[in-house]
Amino acid sequence: MFCPFCSHEDTKVLESRVLDSSMRRRRECIKCKNRFTTYEKADFQLTVLKKSGKIQPFDSNKILQSIQRALGKVDDTIINSLSLKVERKVLKKKTNPVPTSYIGKCVLTELRKMNKIAYLRFASVHKEIEDPKMFEKELQTVV
């Protein structure tokens, strides 16, 4: 970790605190003694494998957006907690890259627990990148 003030490469960690999806560390530069805070995201190096075969960095905002699209006007805290649950599940899988189909399934599971309408709405978007038979099966489980 380089010091943002003097670029010295050695800093001391004064305090670490686990936040919802990241680690906050209070650091002090050993050379210039300036203090600063860093946020380390556990999903930093996680990548996703798209159906097209393309690999791209994991972006929790995309989960958030797809949930938002499915749920429409809902309280932000609900969307955030849903998205966080999905993110934790994806991180727990410890596969890198993670197939987008797996992420989609996690979102579906969480949505189903919460709201049937939202679940169906998301599933109808999701089916475009998934096997239609799987979508049918999914539908049967809620209708």
Calculate the alpha carbon distances from 52 to 55, 67, 104, 107, 129 in Å. 9, 22, 15, 20, 9
Report d(CA 12, CA 25) in Å as an integer. Answer: 10
Residue 12 or 54 with smaller CB distance to Zn ion: 12
Residue 3 or 48 with smaller CB distance to Zn ion: 3
H or E segment to which residue 38 belongs? strand 35-41
Q: Does the footprint of Zn ion cover residue 108 (CB under 5 A)?
A: no
Among positions 5, 59, 124, 136, the unique one binding Zn ion when judged by CB under 5 A: 5
Instruction: Mark the segment that binds Zn ion (CB under 5 A) among 21-29, 45-53, 75-83, 95-103.
Output: 21-29
Tokens of 122: 């998301």
Instruction: Mark the segment that binds Zn ion (CB under 5 A) among 1-9, 68-76, 98-106, 116-124.
Output: 1-9
Report d(CA 110, CA 116) in Å as an integer. Answer: 10
Among positions 13, 23, 32, 117, the unique one binding Zn ion when judged by CB under 5 A: 32
Among positions 29, 46, 82, 107, the unique one binding Zn ion when judged by CB under 5 A: 29
Q: How many CA atoms lie within 13 A of 124 on its CB side?
A: 8
Binding site for Zn ion (CB under 5 A): 3, 5-6, 8, 29, 31-32
